[in-house]
Amino acid sequence: MSTETQVSPQQQAEQHTEKAPVIAIQGYEGSFHQVAANHFFDNNVKVICCDNFRQVIKKASHKKESDGGIMAIENSIAGSILPNYNLLHKSKLKVVGEIYLHIVQNLMVNRGVQLSDIREVHSHPMALQQCLEFLEKYNWKLIETEDTALSAKELKASGSKHIAAIASNLAADLFDLDILAPDIHTLKHNYTRFLVLQHEDLAEVIENANKSSIYFHTDNSRGSLAKVLTAISDGGINLSKLQSFPIPGSDFQYGFHADMEFDTLDQFYKVIRDLKPITEELKIYGVYKKGINHS
Domain region containing 90: 11-103+190-199
Query: At 121, which amino acid appears?
Result: V
Q: What is the pLDDT of residue 17?
A: 45
Residues 24 and 92 in one domain: yes
Residue 191: pLDDT over 90: yes
Question: How does pLDDT run across 31-49, given as a tens digit for each residue?
Answer: 999 999 999 999 999 999 9
Q: What does each C-alpha distance from 242 to 151, 232, 259, 292 come to in angstroms?
A: 35, 12, 7, 20
State the pLDDT confidence band at 253, using cuts at 50, 70 and 90: confident
For residue 41, is it within any domain?
A: yes
Residues 206, 198 contacting (CB under 8 angstroms): no
Q: What is the pLDDT of residue 283?
A: 96
For residue 149, is it within any domain?
A: yes
Residue 129: pLDDT over 80: yes
Last residue of a domain, one of 166, 199, 232: 199
Residues 93 and 115 in one domain: no
Rounded Cα gap, residues 226 and 287, in angstroms: 24
Closest CA to 262 of 237, 232, 228: 237
Residues 95 and 161 in one domain: no
For residue 6, is it within any domain?
A: no
Lowest mean pLDDT among 9-23, 187-201, 237-251: 9-23
Rounded Cα gap, residues 199 and 56, in angstroms: 12
Name, in order, each residue with C-beta under 8 angstroms of 33's C-beta and a sequence gap of 6 or more: 25, 26, 27, 47, 70, 71, 72, 194
State the pLDDT confidence band at 56, using cuts at 50, 70 and 90: very high
Residues 49 and 194 in one domain: yes
Q: What is the pLDDT of residue 12?
A: 45
Please indicate whether residue 140 or residue 19 has the higher confidence score (pLDDT): 140
Last residue of a domain, one of 138, 167, 199: 199
CA torsion, ordered 165, 169, 170, 175, to nearest 10 deg? 40
For residue 206, is it within any domain?
A: no
The domain total for the chain is 3
Residues 195 and 51 in one domain: yes
Residues 90 and 195 in one domain: yes
Question: How does pLDDT run across 139-180, given as a tens digit for each residue?
Answer: 999 999 999 999 999 999 999 999 999 999 999 999 999 999
Q: What is the pLDDT of residue 1?
A: 36
CATH classification at residue 156: 3.40.190.10
For residue 112, is it within any domain?
A: yes
For residue 23, is it within any domain?
A: yes
Last residue of a domain, one of 145, 168, 199: 199
Residue 131: pLDDT over 60: yes
Residues 17 and 85 in one domain: yes
For residue 204, is it within any domain?
A: no
Report the chain's mean pLDDT, rounded to a whole number.
91
Residues 15 and 96 in one domain: yes
CA torsion, ordered 25, 29, 35, 37, to nearest 10 deg? 40
Closest CA to 125 of 181, 69, 78: 78
Rounded Cα gap, residues 20 and 43, in angstroms: 9
Residues 177 and 136 in one domain: yes
- List Cβ<8 Å contacts ≥24 apart for 26-29: 26/50, 26/51, 26/52, 26/53, 26/55, 26/56, 26/71, 26/72, 27/147, 27/148, 27/149, 27/150, 28/147, 28/149, 28/150, 28/153, 29/149, 29/153, 29/174
Radius of gyration of the chain (CA): 22
CATH classification at residue 229: 3.30.70.260
For residue 1, is it within any domain?
A: no
Question: How does pLDDT run across 264-278, given as a tens digit for each residue?
Answer: 999 999 999 999 999
Residues 53 and 195 in one domain: yes
Residues 255, 245 contacting (CB under 8 angstroms): yes
Residues 110 and 156 in one domain: yes
Query: Exposure of 77 by Cβ count < 10 A (0-12 exposed, 13-18 middle, 19+ buried)?
Result: middle
Residues 96 and 111 in one domain: no
Q: What is the pLDDT of residue 293?
A: 83
Question: How does pLDDT run across 203-251, given as a tens digit for each residue?
Answer: 788 889 999 999 999 988 899 999 999 999 999 999 999 999 888 777 7
Question: How does pLDDT run across 73-113, given as a tens digit for each residue?
Answer: 999 988 899 999 999 999 999 999 999 999 999 999 999 99
Q: Sheet harboring 163-167: ordered strands across?
A: 141-144, 120-123, 163-167, 106-109, 178-181
State the pLDDT confidence band at 18, using cuts at 50, 70 and 90: low
